[in-house]
Structures are given as structure tokens and as C-alpha cells.
Amino acid sequence: DGGITQSPKYLFRKEGQNVTLSCEQNLNHDAMYWYRQDPGQGLRLIYYSQIVNDFQKGDIAEGYSVSREKKESFPLTVTSAQKNPTAFYLCASSDRGDTGELFFGEGSRLTVL
Amino acid sequence: AQKITQTQPGMFVQEKEAVTLDCTYDTSDPSYGLFWYKQPSSGEMIFLIYQGSYDQQNATEGRYSLNFQKARKSANLVISASQLGDSAMYFCAMRGSGNTPLVFGKGTRLSVIA
């Protein structure tokens, strides 16, 4: 089945540690995205990539880093510079088709202790 | 830049009744797309319906319809014959011209009452 796989689903880390969230897709989509969701805030864009080896900052990129070495993979690192990393993180992908609808993974919930 | 406003943090509806979730948007792009997603308590995002800015007809998908009023810049979601399984967060989103990322509203939590 085609889809987007995020791992881990739940992650606990101590303050000051870097954390990497995995996102893999087998939909052959060019574009991939990372969103952060906080209660009452909706989804906010962290980073996106429209093609391999290229990515752009979103609205809240500070304290995060990404890479796009393969079309299928778009990992997100939450660095120690991110002041409030506890959140629900959603990865998505889209193709260049008619609507550009986003397909989402199941999300990763990060809790920093 | 695009902006989405959802003014209803929470809504209640009786089972089998219809409900309208409000969404207004702001953009300077002549061509854009509007989306609605459903997020159950499990956290997954489920695509419901899409409306293109040049589409003449309002989009419909089963029990979901999008009431698109371009002059008022509104894209309200109408759910007919509500079911208990419709209880979830609902997000309105838009994409401007080009392959720009979706911008989301803050969401509306819908609770369906038996």
C-alpha cells in the first residue's frame, strides 16, 4: 500500500537533546512537508522540499533542520535550540497534479521532559 | 501571503442534523485551491473535499459539500446527516498559485450528540 510512514509515533527526550523524526513516502511525490501542531494553533509549516537536495524554511523553522537526500525521505531534526519542542509533528507529501492535495503520515508526538 | 480564518473553536450538532463549519480566506493570488481536512482523536489527517477558485460548481463528496462564495471569500463546509463518527477537528486550508505549501486555519472541533 502506498503511503507515508512516520516514526517513532511517540518520543520522549530530555531537554537539550537533539531528536530526529523520520518520514518516508512511497507515493513517488516530489514535494514533502513538515508541520507542527499545538493545541488551538492549527498546523504551522516548519520546512518543505519540492525536489531532492532542495528545501525551504516555513513559518517556524527556527530550532529545526531537515535534509532531502532521497525523494522518499525527509527527516526532521528538532535541535536543542528549539525553545518549546513538545508538540505533534505531521509529515506530508504532494504531487504536482491537479489539486496538490496533501497526503499525511500518522504523526509523531514529541514530549521533552 | 494566504490566510485562513476559522471563527468557531467548537460546535455541537445533533445526530442526523446538518452542520456548517465556517471558513474565510484571504489571498491576492488569482488562482488558488481550498481544502477541508478532518482530524479524529487518533491524529491522522483525512482529506475531505477540494474547491478550485475557478470551479463554477460547489464541490461535493458524499455527505460533504463546500459552500464556495468567492466574492465573500468564504469556503464553508456543510456536513449533512451528521453521524457520531463525524466528531473530530476540522481544518480549512488553502494553496495559492504555484506549488506553494498549504496554509491551515486553527480548526473547529465538532461534537456530534446522540
Dump pLDDT digits (tens) for B6-46.
999 999 999 999 999 999 999 999 999 999 999 999 999 99
| CB pair distance less than 8 Å for B101 and A107 | no
Residue to substitute from A66, A99, A110, interface B, most B β-carbons within 10 A = A99
Q: Is-contact A91 A73, C-beta < 8 A?
A: no
Residue B57 — pLDDT band, cuts 50, 70, 90? very high
Residue A15 or residue A64, greater confidence: A64
Residue A39 — pLDDT band, cuts 50, 70, 90? confident
Q: Does B35 touch chain A (CB under 8 A)?
A: yes
Q: Does B33 touch chain A (CB under 8 A)?
A: yes
The pLDDT of B71-90, averaged and rounded, is 98
pLDDT at A8: 96
The pLDDT of A38-50, averaged and rounded, is 93
Residue A98 — pLDDT band, cuts 50, 70, 90? low
Q: Does B45 touch chain A (CB under 8 A)?
A: yes
Q: In chain B, what residues touch A96 (CB-CB under 8 Å)? A: 99
Closest CA to B67 of B18, B110, B104, B20: B20
- Measured from the Cβ of residue B98, the count of other Cβ atoms closer than 10 Å reads 9
C-alpha dist (Å) from residue A74 to B20, B104, B112: 36, 21, 37
The pLDDT of B61-77, averaged and rounded, is 97
* Residue B68 C-alpha, separation from nearest chain A C-alpha, in angstroms: 16
Q: C-alpha angle with apex A73: A38 to A104, nearest 5 degrees?
A: 40
Q: Is the per-residue pLDDT at A99 higher than 80?
A: no
Q: Is the per-residue pLDDT at B114 higher than 90?
A: yes
